[in-house]
Amino acid sequence: MKLWQKETEINSLIEKFTIGKDQIFDLELAEFDVLGSIAHIKMLASVGLIPNNELPELQKELCAIYQNIKEGKFEIEAGVEDVHSQIELLLTRKLGEAGKKIHSGRSRNDQVLVDLKLFIRNRIQDLVADVEKLFLTFIKLSEAHKDKMLPGYTHLQIAMPSSFGLWFGAYAESLIDDLVVLQSAYKVANQNPLGSGAGYGSSLPLNRTMTTHELGFDDMNRNVVYAQMSRGKSEYITACALTNIAHTLSRFAMDTCLYINQNFSFISLPDSLTTGSSIMPHKKNPDVFELIRAKCNKIKALPTEISLLTTNLPSGYHRDLQILKENFFPSFQEISSCIEICAFMLENIQVKSNILEDSKYQYLFSVERVNDLVLEGVPFREAYKKVGEEIEKGNFFYNKTLNHTHEGSLGNLGNDILVEKFKATISNFGFAKAKAAEKRLLTL
C-alpha cells in the first residue's frame, strides 16, 4: 500500500531503491505518527470534515495502535511503503470508509514533518534526563575530592595547582552550556508544521492553531513554505546541539585516558572495567573512554553530513531529505549510551591523593610565589622577574599552602550554584506542556 498509489504499477527495482531503509527507521516514528493523527482528526471533526459520530471510533482505534507500538507489537507489513501507510491501512481494515478520511488536508510531507518534530522533542527530553544523571555524578565527585590536588597544565606543560574538585566540576558546568544549546534545538523543533500540506497549504478550512495546542507545541511554523524548509534544518540544528554534548564527553574521555596513563597516574579504574592485551600481561587499557572519544567524535561529524545532503536544495520537498534519518536517528542512542557508560565508569573511578608531593611539580607553585610577593606590595612585573631569577638560579622556594577564595577557584567551587543553574536550565525547556498534551491525546 502506498498513499500515492494510482493505477500504474511502479517498477520493483525503483520501488526498492526509493523506499530504501524507511521501513526500518519509520518504526521509530510510529508512536508520533499516531499522536499527530489523533490531533489531526480532532481538528477535522471540529471543522466538519469528519462526522462527530466517527471521531470516537477513530480515536479509540488510533489509541489501540499506539498501545501496540509501545508493546512492540506493531510492524510495517510487506508491500506497505511506510509507517503512515501502515497506520492508515490498519484503520481502514477496522473502520472501513472512516479510516480513509484521516488524510484529508494532509500531505505525507507535513505528516513526516510533524512526526520528526515530535520525535526530536521526545528524544531531547530523554537526553536531558541522561545528562542530568551525568551532571550530578560530576558534582558528587567534585565535592568528594575537592581537597585533593591535581597539577594543572597549559600546552601540556606543568602550569598551576588544580584539584579534582575543579576538574570534575568543570565538566559539570560544561554540560549546563550544552543544555542551553540543546534548548535552542528543542525550541526550533517545538513548532507545528501540520497543515502546511505539501508545502503550500490547503483550500480546506484547517485550524492549525487547534492542532498546535493539541500536540503541545509552543508555536507553529506559520509560513507553509518555510514549514517544509524546516525539514533538514531542524535535524541540522539538533545535530549541532548534540555535538556540544559529544565535545564535552570526548574531551573528558581524552583527559581520562591521559590521567590513567602510568606517566601521569592521577586516577585508576578497577581491573574489571579495563581490558587487557593479547601479548602484554601488564596492560589495563581504558577502552571504554577510547570508544567514548571515538563515538562522540563521529557524532561531531553529523552536522557536516546533514549540511552536505541539504546544500543547494531549492525550497519545497526533495527526496534527498529521506536519507537524513539513517545517521540522525541513531545519533540519539549513540550519545545516550556514551553518557550512560561514562556515568557508570565515574562511579567506579579511583582518585590518587598527595600527587603534588612529587618534587617534579614544584614549579606549579611559581605563580603562588609571585602572588605572595604582590600581597607584600611588590609590583607584579618585579615579582614575576624575581621569581623567574630564583628558578633560573635553582633557589626557588615554594609554599604549598594555598588560599584561593574567589568564586569558582580551588577554595570556592560554587557547586551548589551550579546545581541551581542546572535545574533552572532544565525548567526552561518546558517539557511538562508536551507531556500533558500527549496524555490528553491518548485519553478517550
Residue ranges per structural domain of the chain = 12-101, 108-144+162-206+222-357+423-441
Query: What is the rounded CA–CA span in Å between residue 40 and residue 107?
Result: 12
Query: Phi and psi at residue 192, in whole multiples of 5°?
Result: -80, 120
Contact in structure between 273 and 345 (CB atoms under 8 Å): yes
Residue type at 425?
T
Query: What is the rounded CA–CA span in Å between residue 367 and residue 403?
Result: 12
108-144+162-206+222-357+423-441 placed in CATH 1.20.200.10: yes
pLDDT confidence of residue 276: 80
pLDDT confidence of residue 21: 72
CA proximity to 213, closest of 225, 230, 195, 227: 195
Distance, CA of 288 to chain centre: 20
Query: What is the rounded CA–CA span in Å between residue 233 and residue 237?
Result: 6
pLDDT confidence of residue 7: 57
pLDDT confidence of residue 4: 45
pLDDT tens for the chain, 444 residues long, are 455 455 567 777 776 776 667 778 889 999 999 999 999 999 999 999 999 999 999 999 999 999 999 999 999 998 888 899 999 999 999 999 999 999 999 999 999 999 999 999 999 999 999 999 999 999 999 999 999 999 999 999 999 999 999 999 999 999 999 999 999 999 999 999 999 999 999 999 999 999 999 999 999 999 999 999 999 999 999 999 999 999 999 999 999 999 999 999 999 999 999 888 778 888 888 999 999 999 999 999 999 999 999 988 899 888 888 889 999 999 999 999 999 999 999 999 999 999 999 989 999 999 999 999 999 999 999 999 999 999 999 999 888 888 899 999 999 999 999 999 999 999 999 999 999 999 999 998
Cell of 118: 515530535
| 12-101: CATH topology | Fumarase C; Chain B, domain 1 (1.10.275)
Cα torsion angle, 51, 57, 59, 61, sign: negative
Contact in structure between 248 and 175 (CB atoms under 8 Å): yes
pLDDT confidence of residue 224: 96
Query: What is the rounded CA–CA span in Å between residue 209 and residue 206?
Result: 9
Query: What is the rounded CA–CA span in Å between residue 123 and residue 117?
Result: 10
- Give pTM, 2 decimals: 0.92
pLDDT confidence of residue 6: 55
pLDDT confidence of residue 5: 54
Collapsed DSSP state (helix, strand, coil) of residue 279:
coil
Query: What is the rounded CA–CA span in Å between residue 223 and residue 414?
Result: 45
412: which strand partners? 409
Query: What is the rounded CA–CA span in Å between residue 227 and residue 200?
Result: 9
Contacts of 108 (CB under 8 A, 6+ apart): 3, 4, 82, 84
CA proximity to 62, closest of 102, 22, 29, 2: 102
